[in-house]
Amino acid sequence: MRLKFVEPLLPTLVEKPPEGDEWIHEVKFDGYRSQIIIDHDVRIFTRNGHNWTAKYRDLAGAAKRLGVENAIIDGEIVVLNEAGLSDYQALRKAITSRQHDLYFVAFDLLHLNGHDLRDMDLEDRREILEGLILPDDRIQFSQALPGDAKAIFHLIDEAGLEGMVSKRRDSKYRSGRSTAWLKIKSYMVEEYDLLGVEREPGKPAFALMADRKTGEYVGSAFINSSRAIRERLWKRVQEHAGPAPKGMKRPATQWVKPGIIGRVKHLRGEEELRHASLQDFREEDHANSTKGSRSGNSAGPASPMKPSSSRSRSSRSVDRSPRSTAAKTMGKGPNS
């Protein structure tokens, strides 16, 4: 019987990593959650079950080289930049024009050679999966990171990675959202243009922010800074009052003219601002302004490894694989 797509197990977002030896921890890559199904042929599905095999020709070829009769493998499709960080924007381009930059980071095995493995413990499923993975190929195994969860997360945050995923060693594979898998995302602080402030009586105030280069709306940030900063901000907003950006309509919003820049703390690895808060703001230095026009449009929609020498396109040997990412995070070389 032809194997069918399995709805993925989805981790629950939490603020802090779990404690205890019953958890394993992996790097969270910023890519496309995907599922490889091998039986009479190879099919690669998106998280929502769409067949994207035609878009992943090189990865389908790598799946054939695993030499299994049939299998269902859960993982993430990624592209890494020069710094070894997963690059979501580069991933979109690679799908259409740079297939050789794509990696599939495999982290779970649901089915193998006629056997449904979803009722096995995660640790046992991963042990079998690791034994299938070929060295230096486009499919790589998501290594568990050793050590204390808090220390691991600190290193991941310092390395500029999106976050980590913690999984119970004995967890079974159950489709849908689960607390047996937890994702902990790191935060970053960036500057954005202030479009306006949304303020309704009895409700929290939010700063509406835009990308500094494109002028596109990227989301709102909760204004939880000190009272002095809030009062200073509202004074500036009233002084710089202006029209709404083209195409934007929000209730109870005081729009502002260009020139106010906000420092926003937000989750790393999101296309739009999420869990964001305004930390402070400043006036724009017009001499160094790099801001684009305001369009008012929304933005659109780890563990260690090494590419084969045949893929090298530079005189410098740069390891951009997921295995290398995890190894660097833990302060080790990719071959240690």
Active site residues: 28
Question: In the block, which residue shows the tokens 């563990």?
Answer: 303
Cα-based distances in Å from 44 to 39, 66, 95, 187: 12, 15, 13, 31
User: How far, in Å, CA of 243 to CA of 116, rounded?
Assistant: 59
Ordered strands of the 9-14 beta sheet: 9-14, 176-185, 163-168, 23-28
CB 277 within 8 A of CB 265: yes
DSSP 182: E
User: How far, in Å, CA of 319 to CA of 160, rounded?
Assistant: 17
Name 262's Cβ contacts closer than 8 Å, sequence gap at least 6: 191, 192, 193, 194, 207, 209, 221, 278, 279, 280, 281
Pairing of strands 139-141, 103-112: parallel
